Amino acid sequence: MDAVNDFLIFLDGFLGSAIWFPTLLLSVGVFFTLYLGFPQIRYFKHAIGVTTGKFDKKGAKGDTSHFQALATALSGTVGTGNIGGVALALHLGGPAALFWMWMTAFFGMTSKFVEVTLSHKYRTQVEDGSMAGGPMYYMEGGLNAKWLAVIFAIATVLSSFGTGNLPQINSIAAGLESSFDLDPLITASVFSVLLALVIIGGISRIAKVAAAIVPSMAFIYLIGAFAVIIPNLGNIIPSFASIFSDAFTGSAATGGFLGATFAYAFDRGVNRGLYSNEAGQGSAAIAHAAARTDEPADEGMVSILEPFIDTIVICTITGLVILSSGVWMEKFENEFQRADMNFLAGSFSESNEADVPELFAYLNGDESSASAYSGSISLRDGAVLNVDDFTLISARSIAENVVYSRDGEGISGNIVVSDGQLEDTSIVVTGESLLHSVPLTAQAFSTGLFGDAGKYIVTIGLMLFAFSTAIAWSYYGDRAMTYLAGPKSVLPYRIVYVMGFFYAALADTTIVWNVALITIVLMTVPNLIGILFMHKEMKQTVTEYWEKTEHGKHRT
């Protein structure tokens, strides 16, 4: 698994973690924002009216209402990215990462408006009578680029696992195990059955479940969040100050946090922002294509609300909980994951100012005096004897009070480290380090008015968020399979989807997130290219929409 994780990190270095990708994503959003005259601001009020059914027209084709389409799309975006993704962005990029998540959302509101409008315009009715749409349909029908449509559809199937499936159940299992000591195998079994029961009913059942879950989960989560923010009101203004002051400079080292450069905060913020709201990825356009309306721009208006709700509201609240509580730069007792651990030769300390930049450079693959440790570790009852020979880095921080055990017993004797990694995979390593992803958010929630019970709100919220994301993404994947191989391919796809869901509950969290990073890029790039080539038709579609509907006041 170490080799798999190293390979994923290698690929990500050329894809999501390379500066070209977040730059492309933001640039497309900026272009359409200027080209269409800031639609995310001008059309925001109208979007609310369309969503509430104010402009509905009888007899319009489609499988869902505007609200159900929005709820389905939100259930696909409001997931682990809002809980674990924000925490991971802050862990990697510091407070500045939240600023770049906001930028991704603001300009992403326009990107989503474009991709949803075009996808709805070129949707089609398939053999079973349901509506099928998404970027692959505008790519073929509008651009006459079948090859690009096929690439996007294949990437959608891959991303349905990498984005919507694997990280979701993995986070659910981790949260339930941490909060209730529930065996991940039980979690995998129960939720896999529930997933199968929902997705077998298709978009109608998925939309109804999403419309019920999304408001409930948002309400529960907000209660827990404000239970942390209220006691820490004095830290809110300093938190905002750090977000803005670090946005173009990067975040300095503080506490156990080793710091982050501007480029790192920018990349992680944009990347995590995309994972959270999926603007530009083209995924939500598949759900919106099922909405009942004969006006493509109608549904495009509705989609403007998604990044706003997902990132500017929910992700910001999560970020403020983490920043105002201060837990993002504190170390806590936890079990280290193999993918988070690096053994370095020699002794390093956070109190030594010269060591911190060397450690940061090493973790980012830059030139550094630090190097991987190869050798033995001498232990007595799990405690290290040769402490000066090496330094253990876990979750990008120097680990403290480390204990090595096997089968619940502290190890005595020597164990071997090769090129910075433990050779014996059965060894369990615990100690104090920074936290990231869901555990970090759970720790922040436990500092509020509800005390330790706050982490249960995170667990429940995560369970609802992640499960609803998984069911939404199953629909995205089956529409892509319908495009590639016809309706008969949907059932086999759903079976494999449920099997993958089961397996991911037992997999390494870091590897799962690295898979997500790669599959997002494979899906997003073809969509961004497609909507750029369709820019003139998009502008014409919006102009005709306002003329036909008399500026949205009533239907003719």
With tokens 């997130």, the residue in question is 513
Same domain, 215 and 363: no
Q: What gap in Å lies between CA 486 and CA 272, rounded to an integer?
A: 33
* Structural domain includes residue 551: no
* Structural domain includes residue 492: yes
* Last residue in a domain, options 433, 460, 485: 433
Question: Could you tell me how many helices (H) and strands (E) the chain has, helices first?
Answer: 25, 15
Tell me, what amino acid is at 85? G
Q: What gap in Å lies between CA 475 and CA 201, rounded to an integer?
A: 10
The set of residues, in sequence order, having a beta carbon less than 8 Å from that of 57 and lying 6+ positions away, is 293, 294, 555
Confidence of residue 555 (pLDDT cuts 50, 70, 90): very low
What pLDDT, on a 0 to 100 scale, did the predictor assign at position 554?
46
CB atoms near residue 371 (< 10 Å) = 12
* Structural domain includes residue 176: yes
Q: Residue 475, Cα to own-chain centre: how many angstroms?
A: 18
C-beta of residue 221 within 8 angstroms of C-beta of residue 444 = no
What pLDDT, on a 0 to 100 scale, did the predictor assign at position 62?
80
- Compute the mean pLDDT over every residue in the chain, rounded to the nearest whole number: 88
Same domain, 380 and 455: no
What pLDDT, on a 0 to 100 scale, did the predictor assign at position 178?
74
* Last residue in a domain, options 433, 464, 484: 433
Please state the domain count of the chain: 2
C-beta of residue 414 within 8 angstroms of C-beta of residue 407 = no
* Structural domain includes residue 548: no
In the chain, the largest separation of any two C-alpha atoms, in whole Å, equals 83
Nearest to 71 by CA among 202, 207, 220, 222: 207
Same domain, 149 and 255: yes
Q: Write the pLDDT tens digit of every residue in 205-256.
A: 777 787 777 777 778 888 999 999 999 999 999 999 999 988 888 787 787 7
Classify residue 403 by burial, with Cβ atoms within 10 Å: 0-12, 13-18, 19+: middle
* Structural domain includes residue 547: no
pLDDT surpassing 50 at residue 556: no
pLDDT surpassing 60 at residue 551: no
- DSSP annotation string for 207-247: HHHHHHHHHHHHHHHHHHHHHHHTTTGGGHHHHHHHHHHTT
For position 270, which CATH number holds? 1.20.1740.10
- DSSP annotation string for 50-65: HHTTTT--TT---SB-
Same domain, 268 and 398: no
C-beta of residue 25 within 8 angstroms of C-beta of residue 307 = no
Q: What gap in Å lies between CA 441 and CA 327, rounded to an integer?
A: 9
The string over 17-37, giving b where at least 16 C-beta atoms fall within 10 Å of a residue's C-beta and e elsewhere, is: beeebbebbbebbebbbeebe
pLDDT surpassing 70 at residue 510: no
Nearest to 360 by CA among 93, 114, 551: 93
Reduced to 3 states (helix: H, G, I; strand: E, B; else coil), residue 204 is: helix
Q: What gap in Å lies between CA 390 and CA 366, rounded to an integer?
A: 20
Determine phi and psi for 78, rounding to 5 degrees: -80, 95
- Between the alpha carbon of residue 515 and those of residues 159, 468, 526, the distances in Å are 9, 20, 18
Nearest to 138 by CA among 410, 533, 550: 533
* Last residue in a domain, options 400, 433, 466: 433
Same domain, 178 and 289: yes
What is the token pair recorded at 432?
Answer: 């104090």
- Looking at the chain, the whole-number percentage of residues with pLDDT higher than 90 is 49
Q: Write the pLDDT tens digit of every residue in 430-448.
A: 999 999 888 899 899 999 9
Q: Sign of torsion, CA 299 300 303 305?
A: negative
* Structural domain includes residue 544: no
CB atoms near residue 55 (< 10 Å) = 19
Q: Residue 104, Cα to own-chain centre: how many angstroms?
A: 13
Instruction: Provide, for the chain, the percentages of residues in helix, strand and coil under a 3-state DSSP scheme, each rounded to the nearest 5.
Output: 65, 10, 25
The C-alpha R_g of the chain, in whole angstroms, comes to 24
Same domain, 250 and 204: yes
Regarding pTM above 0.75, the answer is: yes
Apex CA 126: angle with CA 120 and CA 130, to 5°? 70
Tell me, what amino acid is at 195? L
* Structural domain includes residue 57: no
- Between the alpha carbon of residue 198 and those of residues 192, 208, 325, 412, 432, the distances in Å are 10, 10, 38, 50, 40
pLDDT surpassing 60 at residue 318: yes
Q: Write the pLDDT tens digit of every residue in 54-110.
A: 887 887 888 788 888 888 788 777 777 788 888 888 888 889 889 999 999 999 999
Q: Give the residue numbers spanning the domain of 164.
A: 2-51+64-330+444-534
C-beta of residue 122 within 8 angstroms of C-beta of residue 291 = no
Nearest to 470 by CA among 443, 491, 488, 497: 497
Kindly provide the residue ranges of all beta strands, DSSP E only, lying in 14-144, ordered along the sequence: 124-125, 131-132
CB atoms near residue 386 (< 10 Å) = 12
Same domain, 33 and 140: yes
Same domain, 209 and 141: yes
Q: Residue 383 forms beta bridges with which residues?
A: 380
Helix (H) or strand (E) holding 416: strand 413-418
261-270, 429-438, 490-499, range with the lowest pLDDT: 261-270
| Mean pLDDT within 313-320 | 92
Determine phi and psi for 372, rounding to 5 degrees: -65, 145
What pLDDT, on a 0 to 100 scale, did the predictor assign at position 196?
92
